[in-house]
Each structure stands twice: as C-alpha cells, then as structure tokens.
Amino acid sequence: MKISNAYVFMYALVLVLWLSEAERHVRVANDLGQGLNLTIHCRSHNDDLGLKELPYGFYFEWAFNSNIWGSTVFYCDMGWQQGSGHYDVFVARRDNSRCHYRCWWVARQDGLYALDEQHNVYNFWFPWNKTAPGVLL
Ligand SMILES: *[C@@H]1O[C@H](CO)[C@@H](O)[C@H](O)[C@H]1NC(C)=O
Ligand SMILES: *[C@@H]1O[C@H](CO)[C@@H](O)[C@H](O)[C@H]1NC(C)=O
C-alpha cells in the first residue's frame, strides 16, 4: 500500500468512528411568547421521554448516539393553544449529515424552526398541523 493510500484509509476510519460515536443533542425550545406553554411528548422506538409542559423560554433536551445502522428516529407530539402536530425531530437518514451536535428546534406561533448548525440560524420547517391543540397523547 502506498503511503498516501494508507493515509486516506486512516482518515476514512477515523471519520467513520467519529460519525458513529458523535453524541447528538436534540433540543426543543418554547419561543411561542409570554405566558404560552408548549406541551411536548417525545419518543423513540425504545424510549418514552415523557409528557412535559414547557413554559415560554424553556427547553427540553436529550442526548443520544445515533446507532451505526442509521435507524435512529425520535418524534414528538407537540401542541399549544392554537396548534399541534406530530413531528420527526431526528431521523438518521435525514439528519445524520444535517446536524452533528446541535439538533435544535424552536416552536413559534407559526410552526417549528430547525437550527442550521453551520450558519447558526433557524429555518422554518413545519407549520402546526392542526389549528387546535388536539389530543396530544
Ligand atoms: C404552564 O406550565 C407551568 C409549569 O409547567 C404551569 O405551572 C402553568 O400552570 C402552565 N400554564 C398554563 C396556562 O397552562
Ligand atoms: C398532518 O396531518 C395529516 C393528516 O392527518 C397527516 O397525514 C400528517 O402526517 C400530519 N403532519 C404532521 C406534521 O403532523
């Protein structure tokens, strides 16, 4: 093996290890406005993170290691006085290359925004699906 190939191989190995080991943080913050709570219930195939009621300005966060099969999925039912929905907040196939550390969301009155880690801005992703709180659980 030529030296350069050995280097490429080492880099590839390190990259694969780094990608599979990286710990990601999913965060959902309530930016709805003064006095408005966000009700949120997040789950994966294996975990139920429980029902939370987040006051304005608070967030809910958890960390996990995306599994090497790329099948990690977390989803949340969320709602407030005027909207609700069921949202995938982390899907390995969609997000492995999108968020490496901060898989952050904010809930605003018009819907959910996701952090663009590279540019440090939040982009609009999902509107509230229903115009009523609906049955969350
Ligand atoms: C909002 O949540 C807080 C704490 O979780 C709770 O004490 C309060 O009663 C809630 N307010 C409304 C309007 O539901
Ligand atoms: C919105 O509601 C429709 C119809 O019930 C459903 O098919 C869709 O998955 C929902 N989307 C979200 C983001 O909740």
Q: pTM score, two decimals?
A: 0.79
**What is the pLDDT, as a whole number, of residue 18?**
59
Output the CA–CA distances (angstroms, integers) from residue 35 to 15, 38, 58, 131, in the order listed: 45, 10, 12, 19
Output the CA–CA distances (angstroms, integers) from residue 1 to 4, 5, 6, 8, 9, in the order listed: 8, 6, 6, 11, 10
* Residue bearing the CA closest to ligand 1, atom 3: 55
How far apart (Å, rounded) are the C-alpha atoms in residues 134 and 84? 6
What domains sit in the chain, N to C, each tagged with a CATH number? 23-127 (2.60.40)
**What is the pLDDT, as a whole number, of residue 137?**
47
Rounded distance from Cα 1 to ligand 2 centre (Å):
53
Q: Pick from 132, 126, 89, 131: which is nearest to 108 by CA?
A: 126
| Residues ≥6 apart with Cβ < 8 Å to 49 | 41, 42, 43, 60, 62
Question: Which residues surround ligand 2 with Cβ inside 6 Å?
Answer: 85-87, 126, 129
The tens place of each residue's pLDDT in the chain, 137 residues long, gives 566 777 766 677 666 655 555 689 999 999 999 999 999 999 998 899 999 999 999 999 999 887 777 788 999 999 999 999 999 999 998 998 899 899 999 999 999 999 999 999 999 999 998 776 665 54
